[in-house]
Amino acid sequence: RTSILSKRWRRLWTAIPSLAFDEKDFPSRQRSGFSLDGTESTDLFTIVNQVLLNHDRFLRSLCLRLTLRNDSDRRVLGSWIRHAIVVNQVEELSLQISYSDRSSGLYELPLHLCDCRSICHLKLSGSHFCSRPGREVVLSSLQSLSLHGVHSTVADFPRMLDACPQLEKLVIHNCSKDVTEDVQISATRLLSLSIKGSVLGKIKMIAPSLQFIDYDCHDSPSDEDGGLRKVLVDDTSRIRSIAACACIFR
């Protein structure tokens, strides 16, 4: 109705700099797959598809909380992520993903297909990205990375961090990988590190700028050594604060 007063109202919503979509706000999503025919007007995937792909301006932040049910959902989510990065130049991207069926594995963001220089903050729950030969990911402006619930042998934490040369804050909560392998975290600009409830094997930190460590393995699933085993900090000269359980000193 506002468009009767002025045509400029018709697309005024595209100037909104922050978008957040939570599946719990779309209870009508009762389906086995996604279709672009718009038959479910209140379906999460239909609404997000219409809103996001018609938003062609800068986005400060995009937050998505949803459940992936099949490969079609994964492809649609990938198109949203590419649009947000390429068209909207999004600065903050937050994904909280759950699964009705994990047979297809952990969702991998298609960041190798995009110029990701706009992304400054990335928060991933139940998903990951990976930089590998031929599919390199470069997050040249990323300042903070939060990983939650990344339980997968394919999640290569060192390669994730190699893609983030400007990283200053790293959060790894409730994550795990093959505990028989050690993890080396190399981040020359890293200032803050938080590791909680995770099983990652032995961690060697090469972070000469590191100032703050928050480490707690009390909620970690047990492995043969009793959880997250040890953190070795290569250079402690700049550390100002450590909040940690006793395991870090063993």
N- to C-terminal Cα distance for the chain? Answer: 67
3-state secondary structure 81-96: HHHHHHCCCCCEEEEE
Rounded to the nearest 10 degrees, what angle do helices 71-86 and 44-53 cross at? 20
Instruction: List, for residues 39-80, the tens digit of each pLDDT value.
Output: 444 678 888 888 888 888 899 999 999 999 999 999 999 999
3-state secondary structure 164-216: CCCCCEEEEECCECCCCCCEEEECCCCCEEEEECCECCEEEEECCCCCEEEEE
Average pLDDT for the chain: 81
Domains of the chain, first to last:
7-18+43-219+228-249 (3.80.10)
Tokens matching residue 21: 């979509």
DSSP 160: H
DSSP 141: T
Nearest of 171, 233, 246, 242 to residue 206 by alpha carbon: 233
Report the predicted TM-score, pTM, of the whole model to 2 decimal places. 0.83
> What was the pLDDT predicted at 180?
55
Q: Over 90: is that where the pLDDT of 88 sits?
A: yes
DSSP 132: B
> What was the pLDDT predicted at 127?
92
Instruction: List, for residues 116-153, the tens digit of each pLDDT value.
Output: 999 999 999 999 898 888 888 999 999 999 999 887 66
Q: Over 80: is that where the pLDDT of 203 sits?
A: no
Cα–Cα distance, 53 to 224 (Å, whole number)? 48
Nearest of 92, 103, 99, 56 to residue 77 by alpha carbon: 99
> What was the pLDDT predicted at 226?
46
> What was the pLDDT predicted at 119?
98
